Structure 1
Amino acid sequence: MSAAAVAIACGLGTALCFGTGDYLAQRVTRRHGWLAAVFGVQVAAAAILAVVALAWHGLPSAAPTTYATVAVIGVVNTLGVVGLFRAFEGGKLSLVSPIAGSMGAFSLGFAWLAGHAPPRLVVPGVVAVVVGIMCASVVVADRVADQGNESETRASPRAPTKLRRASGVGWALLSAVGFGWVFFMLGPSSELLGPAWVVFGLRLVAVAALLMLARAQRVSLPEQLGELREHSLGRLLAVATLDAGGMLSFAYGTSRGVVAGEIAVVAVLASSFPVVTIALACVRLREGLRWWQWLGVGGVVAGIAWISAWS
């Protein structure tokens, strides 16, 4: 398989994992709170990644500067994860998921500035994917509250609801910028240490940071995690597995001696995950797509085909 084909496969694999994980994560976040949900996912993902890393790479071995770089990436990644789950808790999935999905545009910008611009013939496909994501993600707000927030919406005045949705957008944008930079930096570090160990390191940093945050806020994590384990263990493990799989797919796709344009291609294709979320909502929740959403999905498919043909 060519390097371009691997980049495309990894980008699409990341999108499938993240899109499905977002669909499953919102219910966990709204039921148990963002801090317990984020912490539970990070711990479960770290356990999965430790096994994968040992089986794939063996014991880690790298220069101290590499570990320091991973730690810095881990801090920014934690901000991105917190932003994503806070957005899920306070905003509508159809609104915040596309904003978070713009991480690929930020990764593309960072890569372009660093001299990793995609080949010119690939640019039309990249544009088609980005525009398709935007079209497929636009929805018409319903007056009827979604199932997870129905009772809350009836009990709350309009102003607080608007404030929460605005906050959700801000958190989603923070997530997009954070993940955009993390994904730009992930490839070189993964090449030195191994994709699985790098992603495992990001999870360790997140666990440590969240523990300190919980202590500062005097939150009883054991109590919240007990409730999470009792009511949503299966969904939590599914989200953690998809989270680990998506990050591994992206890290591997950009760690094999990165050539110009590979980071951009993987990042843009990975950003199509809101389309996966919308498709799941259509199939599982029987939500119909508007005509412009179908055009958006078609644009994403056409863009992927174009990138595949010219990479």
Structure 2
Amino acid sequence: MTAVALGLGAALCWGVGDVLARLASRAIGAYRALLYAQLVGVGMLTAYAGTTGELARAVGGASPTAWGWAVGTGAIFTVATFAFYRAMETGVLALVSPITASYAAVTVLLAVAAGETLTTTRTAGIAAALAGVVVASIPARAAHEPTGPAGHAVRWALVAAVAFGVTFWLLGFRVTPAFGGVAAVWVLRAVAALVLLAASRPARASLAPPRGPTARLVLAIGALDTLGFVANNVGTTHGLVSVVSVLGSLFSAVTVLVAWGTLGERLAVRQWLGVAVLLVGVVLVSR
């Protein structure tokens, strides 16, 4: 049950954070929003893990091979997150969020290929959860968005889905076992920040710090996203990577519910049905 609770906690953090990330991406651009969110995460985890000694133990005790996996995973994570932010910046959140959430299918396939075995009940739960995410997250109006921008956003979301799927598989099987749940996220954040800083000049991206309300948005995004990743990583140490990844992918439905509760967006009957289906999936996965 610990793994289930942590997977759902990750979904909650990511779902709320994504609503804020869309606002920040459209205010200052995906590049700056992503960079400063990563820096917030690095600062948070350095303060926590540095104080407890966990960071020093993990970083100093990891083998060169583990570092290679961690840095490579961090690079893939950077691609995944930037693609998702670009999708949110240029497209409709209700469309790109469920597409990105399909990363769980990639992670499950890789986890099973790596040797994880799933019971029939959990397999049915995973299928129900993924189906529920799609049904709950795509409102009818998403299909009527302009084809040009929507097409670009969908492509970015597909890139994010594949890259996130690989990222979470590598985290569960290669990085977290070597570094631990918190330090592994610190490495991802640090690598992403370094890559974005190094690429800023050729990308002609502004590095001006966000100010005012946008700065507060970025702080909240960095905190929520980091907490979500820590919950996900710690969850994989208590349960199957495939199960925790699917539960984390429910963030898309959380995003829709947050928009309904705070922005006054109405949910269609089929969206409520999708929420019900994914909740059934959660129950089956937890058995």
Band the TM-score falls in, shorter-chain normalisation? over 0.9
Corresponding residue for 1:269?
A: 247
Distance 1:50 1:118 in 2: 36
Aligned: 1:237 with 2:219: yes
Aligned: 1:54 with 2:40: no
Aligned partner of 1:15 among 7, 11, 17: 11
Corresponding residue for 1:206?
A: 192
Which letter maps to 1:182? Answer: T
1:137-185, CA deviations, whole angstroms, 9 ceiling, x for partnerless residues? 121217999xxxxxxxxxxxxxxx5322111111111111111111111
Residues 52 and 196 in structure 1, CA contact (< 8 A), matched pair in contact too? no
Instruction: Tell me the percent identity.
Output: 33
Q: Which runs of 5+ in 1 are unaligned?
A: 146-160
Q: Which shifted more, 111-120 or 240-249?
A: 111-120
CA RMSD of aligned residues (A): 1.7
Corresponding residue for 1:41?
A: 37
Residues 34 and 85 in structure 1, CA contact (< 8 A), matched pair in contact too? yes
> Residue 205 of structure 2: SS of its match in structure 1?
coil
Kindly tell me the number of residue pairs found equivalent between the two proteins: 282
Distance 1:307 1:220 in 2: 44
Aligned partner of 1:300 among 256, 259, 278: 278
1:79 Cα offset (Å): 0.3
> Residue 211 of structure 2: SS of its match in structure 1?
helix
Could you say if the C-alpha distance between residues 144 and 135 of structure 1 is closer, same or farther in structure 2, counting changes exceeding 3 Å?
closer
Could you say if the C-alpha distance between residues 143 and 187 of structure 1 is closer, same or farther in structure 2, counting changes exceeding 3 Å?
closer
Distance 1:40 1:275 in 2: 26
1:247-303, CA deviations, whole angstroms, 9 ceiling, x for partnerless residues? 1111111135x6xxx111101111111110000111111111111101000011111
Could you say if the C-alpha distance between residues 143 and 74 of structure 1 is closer, same or farther in structure 2, counting changes exceeding 3 Å?
closer
Residues 55 and 183 in structure 2, CA contact (< 8 A), matched pair in contact too? no
1:211-255, CA deviations, whole angstroms, 9 ceiling, x for partnerless residues? 122111233313xx2xx1334121111110111001111111113
Distance 1:142 1:266 in 2: 28
1:117 Cα offset (Å): 2.8
Aligned: 1:217 with 2:203: yes
Corresponding residue for 2:166?
A: 181
Which letter maps to 2:216? Answer: G
Distance 1:69 1:48 in 2: 23
Corresponding residue for 1:191?
A: 177
Q: Which runs of 5+ in 2 are unaligned?
A: none
Residues 32 and 205 in structure 2, CA contact (< 8 A), matched pair in contact too? no
1:124 Cα offset (Å): 1.5
Distance 1:143 1:248 in 2: 34
Could you say if the C-alpha distance between residues 109 and 142 of structure 1 is closer, same or farther in structure 2, counting changes exceeding 3 Å?
closer
Distance 2:181 2:234 in 1: 6
TM-score (norm 1): 0.86
Which letter maps to 2:262? Answer: R
Distance 2:48 2:157 in 1: 29
Residues 6 and 253 in structure 1, CA contact (< 8 A), matched pair in contact too? yes
TM-score (norm 2): 0.93
> Residue 287 of structure 1: SS of its match in structure 2?
coil
